[in-house]
Structure 1
Amino acid sequence: MTIYSDDLVKATNQIVGFGAVAFAAYDATAGSGMLSGGLPLLCCGASLVYTTGIFQNYLRRRDTRVVAYLSGNPGTPLSKISAATELSQEQVASSIQRLCADRLVVSESGPASPTRYRLAS
């Protein structure tokens, strides 16, 4: 099983977010009171969990852009994918890593040319 850095961000945000929500609920009922710390912390935790879902949707859209470009341009190096999709090379590399691990994209490297990518057959 491959663990991507994007997945670690998602898991961390969800753990911290749900932890903040639980702590805020406890603080609001048994601690110092709702107005002093519990309510703001509850809002922060809930927003962290919510933005994690938005982040995952962003990654799916980013991966879709890479796949859509590769469907019409097989055998393209990372730099050209980056320029065509208007994503940074780091973002494209992250998407390519995820797509290769899922066996949707195949990398082809030659001795004198940069690594090229195409959709798996």
Structure 2
Amino acid sequence: MRIMLDLASRLTGLPEIRGHAAWPDHEYVKGWGVFGLPFDSGHVLALRVFPENDFGPYKTVWHRDPEGRWSIFVDGDRLETACPRYYGSACAYTGFASIRLEWTGPAALRITVDEPALE
């Protein structure tokens, strides 16, 4: 018997909350993602979705081209409070994008980015 986890039901509509870390002088994020999706072409994509944290909700799409250059695209208020804060210096590009998520099944997700165009 195969049981399928219904990720769509669990992850859709998570509240966007600006909270506080449990320990002084620490930060936290709470969310989910696709932490690496390699393609035969040599490209790698990743997604991070953090609706709850210290500084405001955001989503990021990460891209590594076949030559090994990383880019991070942020759908959030500021680059310096999202993933580029920690990884931006290692990237060829960091910038803003509109990232849309649509669950098409219990474990199937469509991700679209406006610029650069990605589906």
**TM-score w.r.t. length of structure 1:** 0.23
Q: Radius of gyration: which is bigger?
A: 1
The structure whose residues are more often helix, as a share, is 1
The structure whose residues are more often strand, as a share, is 2
